[in-house]
A and B are shown apart, each in its own frame.
Chain A
Amino acid sequence: MNRASPELTPAPAQPPAPDAVTVTVTDAGIIAASRDEPERFAELFDRHAARIHRYVARRLGRDAAGDIVAETFLVAFGKRDRYDPAVAGARPWLFGIATNLIGQHRRDEVRRYRLQLALPAEPVEESPADRVAAGVSAQAVRRPLAEAVGALSPGDRDVLLLIAWEQFSYDEVAAALGIPVGTVRSRLNRARSRVRAALGGSDPTSPHDLPLEEHSRWMT
């Protein structure tokens, strides 16, 4: 599989590669079983819902996430007979459905990024200690970053965030969004170059390594 970026460690969002744990039924197995026992589809929910919820919450806010997660699984449930049993893991499929639903809230999403630009963060601020740690540089660029993400075309944003936040491979993104792998690459390239540009240059590397005054100059 094409990993989107070799330096990213793929976070196992999700259970266990099916063949790694013998007792675990694959997603495809659950979906097949749910034809005769519809309520077994809830097992798929239990595996994936929390992660999808978080992804949606990051894009649209927590209030919207609950509804979209519910819709995602209802849509998936309704389409389960069309699921390709050869695809063991259903994560791309589910995220693709969720992405479509997110797309119906584009205005709200863009507004949310804009609001992030303009406004102090909600009370869930990191502690100073956290900020000193790895978060510092990200915190420093959060505003231009949010703006850049908000200004992306929706399709580019879908690709970028699945890769950056969910560590999807190119193949998984292609499957999730129903687009060719080549399109995934071109969208990702475009999105990343825009984000880099927004971060102030071709190489946004390590702003936190710079001295403070240098850092603030970089910021602006």
Chain B
Amino acid sequence: MTRAQFQYSKKVLKHFRNPHNLGKINDPSGIGEVGNMVCGDVMKLYIKVKNNIITEIKFETYGCAAAIATSSVITDLVKGKTIDEAIKMTNKDVIDSLDGLPPVKIHCSLLSVDALSEAIYDYLFKEKKEIPKEVVSRHQRLIVHSS
């Protein structure tokens, strides 16, 4: 079924074929893992934080072209940003950077934002830093969702 392919933008396919920041970070400051095998998308995002700045970010994703492309593009968007800036990232930013997504794939962009938020939560939690409300509530929603 190549129907989906006709609906993907060139940017999505570009990121899918040559994803940026693929792989894992060995001693990450935080890890975010979201999605599940039943729905067919699992994203794992690793961040390295220095002086409140995300200096390094990598991902591993099991999923469709949109899942891989959204993972790839969010690493581009976030790299070099402060934690506060990264928290403000929305799925609209991800979709816009990919020149749009087919409607049925919008959930992939949400997944990438969730993965980032979880990585930040993991980092702040481990560092015993104050965790902003929106990050906590997202974390709680994801836990409820995955159990």
Is chain B found bound to chain A in the same assembly?
no
